[in-house]
């Protein structure tokens, strides 16, 4: 698979993942009680955890690319 096609597929996958992730995070966040000691840690974790599932996808993009 060409690197260009691999990047296109990964970009589309990232956009879909992030759209679903953001929707789910805000949906769950709306169900939480309106207390700062609950919402602050939730949004801190959710706001930084989105990158962890993307690590395998990013490594897949770089798989097979040859250094120039």
Q: Which letter does DSSP use for residue 67 in this model?
A: P
Is residue 53 included in any domain, yes or no? yes
Is residue 68 included in any domain, yes or no? no
Is residue 67 included in any domain, yes or no? no
* Distance separating alpha carbons of residues 58 and 53, to the nearest angstrom: 10
Is residue 16 included in any domain, yes or no? yes
**For the whole model, what pTM was predicted?**
0.80
pLDDT digits (tens, 9 = 90+) for 9-46: 999 999 999 999 999 999 999 999 999 999 999 999 99
pLDDT of amino acid 1? 78
Domain count for the chain? 1
Q: Which letter does DSSP use for residue 65 in this model?
A: P
Host domain of residue 29: 3-62
Is residue 25 included in any domain, yes or no? yes
């Amino acid at each position: 698979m060409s690197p260009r096609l691999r990047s296109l597929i990964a970009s589309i996958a990232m956009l879909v993942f992030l759209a679903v992730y953001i929707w789910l995070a805000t949906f769950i966040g709306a169900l939480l009680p309106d207390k700062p000691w609950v919402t602050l840690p939730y949004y801190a974790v959710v706001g930084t955890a989105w990158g962890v599932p993307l690590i395998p996808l990013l490594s897949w993009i770089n798989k097979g690319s040859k250094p120039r």
